[in-house]
């Protein structure tokens, strides 16, 4: 019971209160930032902040096991999955600010305020008692007590959970699998295309001069004209606005598009 005495000391009380208010403000601000941020990556990082502060709240509420599960499963696994999918889908996929449904933001805000009022009334009417005295189940014996409950009273739900996880893994594999519509290009076919493209050699490297030694400087051809293809289209696209955006998103399909005009027709990748 020394832990109980520790928690009841005034200094620990003040620390607890301070931690709660600081983290409450941070988590609400990060939640608002998540809703308001335009870029999806910013939203994911804001969500990470919220989840980490919720993990600290779990620790304060006597759930050390759930606090660690929150950090490992949510911040570690789920958010990384979100970030991976963001990288696949495209990092520049910012939300458009044009409303497709008229007055959607206004009605959403009104609905949010209504929900807040409703839930506040419900919580205000409910009798929320004080926390019970600290027992071993909320401290050092948390994991043991949880394991005891999971494998006795909740054992059936636990078994069903395994079925759910297997189904989810299988579903994700089936959904993410893509059938190859065309035959895989062989080395022979790739070599033939390379010769037929008119440029069998690799692309020239960028220029290296006495005054300019950078990847954005085009190399000079023997007759003194700059070779535009020696600069990566990614870099020239950053430095100057691209004239015509390539239909494909990846640089591998943009490279032949920026070459000479007599290149082979760009294959449709999707």
Partner 1 sequence: MVTPAHFIALAVILFVIGAVGVLVRRNAIVVFMCVELMLNAANLAFVTFARMHGNLDGQIIAFFVMVVAAAEVVVGLAILTSIFRARRSASVDDANLMKY
Residues 138-197 that bind partner 1 (CB under 8 A): 138, 142, 145-146, 149-150, 154, 157, 161, 164-165, 167-169, 171-172, 175-176, 178
60 sits near partner 1 (criterion: CB under 8 A): yes
Q: How far apart are CA 198 and CA 193, in angstroms?
A: 9
Nearer to partner 1, 126 or 261 (CB): 126
Nearer to partner 1, 100 or 244 (CB): 100
Minimum separation from the CB atom of position 185 to partner 1 (A): 20
Nearer to partner 1, 116 or 214 (CB): 116
Nearer to partner 1, 84 or 209 (CB): 84
16 sits near partner 1 (criterion: CB under 8 A): yes
267 sits near partner 1 (criterion: CB under 8 A): no
73 sits near partner 1 (criterion: CB under 8 A): yes
12 sits near partner 1 (criterion: CB under 8 A): no
91 sits near partner 1 (criterion: CB under 8 A): no
Minimum separation from the CB atom of position 257 to partner 1 (A): 17
> Distance between alpha carbon 131 and the CA centroid of its chain, in Å?
36
Q: What is the DSSP string of 18-50?
A: HHHHHHHHHHHHHHHHHHH-SSHHHHHHHHHHH
70 sits near partner 1 (criterion: CB under 8 A): yes
Q: Which of 204, 212, 252 is nearest to 230 (CA)?
A: 204
The neighbour count for residue 53, using CB atoms within 10 Å, is 21
Nearer to partner 1, 57 or 204 (CB): 57
The H or E element that residue 219 is part of is strand 219-220
22 sits near partner 1 (criterion: CB under 8 A): no
87 sits near partner 1 (criterion: CB under 8 A): no
CA dist 222 to 28, 219, 227, Å? Answer: 62, 10, 10
10 sits near partner 1 (criterion: CB under 8 A): no
69 sits near partner 1 (criterion: CB under 8 A): yes
b/e per residue 120-155 (b: at least 16 CB within 10 A) = eeeeeeeeeeeeeebeebbeeebeeeeeeeeeeeee
CA dist 228 to 7, 169, 194, Å? Answer: 69, 47, 20
Nearer to partner 1, 127 or 210 (CB): 127
8 sits near partner 1 (criterion: CB under 8 A): no
Binding positions for partner 1, 102-131, rule CB under 8 A? 104-105, 107-109, 111-112, 115-116, 119-120, 123, 128-131
40 sits near partner 1 (criterion: CB under 8 A): yes
CA gyration radius, the chain: 29
Token pair in block for residue 42 = 């910013």
Contact residues for 31 (Cβ-Cβ < 8 A; gap 6+): 46, 50
Q: How far apart are CA 253 and CA 179, in angstroms?
A: 20
Interacting residue with partner 1 among 5, 95, 155, 226 (CB under 8 A): 95
Q: Exposed/middle/buried for 65, CB within 10 Å: 0-12, 13-18, 19+? A: middle
């Amino acid at each position: 019971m020394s832990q109980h005495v520790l928690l009841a000391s005034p200094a620990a009380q003040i620390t607890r209160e301070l931690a709660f208010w600081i983290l409450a403000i941070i988590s609400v601000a990060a939640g608002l930032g998540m809703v308001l941020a335009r870029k999806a990556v910013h939203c994911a990082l804001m969500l990470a902040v919220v989840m980490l502060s919720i993990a600290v709240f779990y620790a304060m509420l006597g759930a050390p096991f759930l606090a660690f599960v929150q950090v490992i499963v949510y911040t570690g696994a789920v958010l990384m999955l979100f970030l991976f999918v963001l990288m696949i889908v495209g990092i520049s996929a910012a939300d458009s600010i044009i409303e497709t449904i008229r007055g959607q933001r206004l009605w959403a805000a009104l609905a949010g305020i209504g929900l807040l009022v409703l839930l506040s009334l419900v919580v205000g009417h409910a009798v929320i008692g004080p926390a019970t005295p600290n027992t071993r189940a909320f401290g050092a014996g948390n994991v043991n007590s949880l394991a005891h409950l999971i494998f006795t009273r909740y054992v059936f739900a636990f078994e069903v959970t395994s079925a759910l996880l297997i189904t989810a893994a299988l579903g994700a594999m089936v959904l993410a699998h893509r059938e190859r519509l065309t035959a895989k290009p062989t080395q022979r076919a790739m070599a033939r295309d390379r010769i037929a493209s008119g440029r069998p050699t690799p692309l020239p490297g960028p220029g290296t001069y006495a005054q300019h030694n950078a990847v954005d400087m085009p190399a000079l051809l023997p007759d003194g004209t700059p070779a535009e293809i020696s600069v990566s289209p990614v870099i020239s696209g950053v430095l100057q606005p691209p004239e015509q955006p390539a239909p494909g998103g990846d640089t591998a399909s943009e490279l032949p598009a920026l070459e000479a005009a007599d290149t082979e027709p760009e294959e449709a990748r999707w």
